[in-house]
Chains A and B, each alone.
Chain A
Amino acid sequence: DTGVSQNPRHKITKRGQNVTFRCDPISEHNRLYWYRQTLGQGPEFLTYFQNEAQLEKSRLLSDRFSAERPKGSFSTLEIQRTEQGDSAMYLCASSSDRRSGNTIYFGEGRWLTVV
């Protein structure tokens, strides 16, 4: 078990560019979550998957954001036409519904700075 893996660690991008984050969940975890965190705030829910199905997407998420989990394993989060307000840490997490409870395990997170 190598934990939830995210890459790249830090992205700096110019406003208007597209960025993509990748997340590899803990092996055999069928649920995968994306959260966003800004300084001084708690993780803010963006979206989550049960296997390959995207079950919920936050209303806070504009149509510039899209997430996929095509084979029910890794996931990608793409932000199109980035804006300065997108600057934050993007956290991926995973859990298993085969175990009691809904404990989610976070990856290290990836910082996005939009300049």
Chain B
Amino acid sequence: GENVEQHPSTLSVQEGDSAVIKCTYSDSASNYFPWYKQELGKRPQLIIDIRSNVGEKKDQRIAVTLNKTAKHFSLHITETQPEDSAVYFCAASKDSSASKIIFGSGTRLSIRP
């Protein structure tokens, strides 16, 4: 089955700097890669996703990149702000008619003022 590895487990960056979180997956058949943000005590919420037919996707300060050959994908947050502090999870699944989503173990991002 699919296995998703995520690192680093914790990340602290200065406000205004960029943050990068990296994930690898094991199942070459996976083709859908969402990223979720979870604030303390709240539900995970989708922030961006990417499918395997593209290598990069951007939404304002957030971007994701995907390297299918290496089975790597990354989340990039630019111009970080205090409200970016949260736990971020990457995930992978097969975008088929019925498929579970497997999550990484999470990265706790802290933004230093």
Contact = CB atoms under 8 A, between A and B. Distances in A.
Interface in A81-115: 91, 97, 101-109
Interface in B41-79: 42-46, 49, 51
Contacts of A56: 100
Interface string A48-62: 101000011000000
Nearest to A46: B100
A106 B96 CA distance: 19
A102 B101 contact: yes
Contacts of A55: 98
Interface residues of A, number: 24
B97 A109 contact: no
Given A101-B49, A101-B51, A102-B32, A108 B97 contact: no
A103 B34 contact: yes
Given A97-B97, A108-B42, 13 more contacts: A33-B100, A33-B101, A40-B105, A42-B6, A42-B106, A43-B89, A43-B103, A45-B101, A48-B98, A102-B32, A102-B101, A107-B43, A108-B43
Interface of A: 31, 33, 35, 40-45, 48, 50, 55-56, 91, 97, 101-109
23 contacts: A31-B98, A33-B101, A40-B106, A42-B6, A42-B89, A42-B91, A43-B89, A45-B103, A50-B98, A55-B98, A97-B98, A101-B32, A102-B32, A102-B96, A102-B99, A104-B34, A104-B101, A105-B46, A106-B36, A106-B44, A107-B43, A108-B42, A109-B43
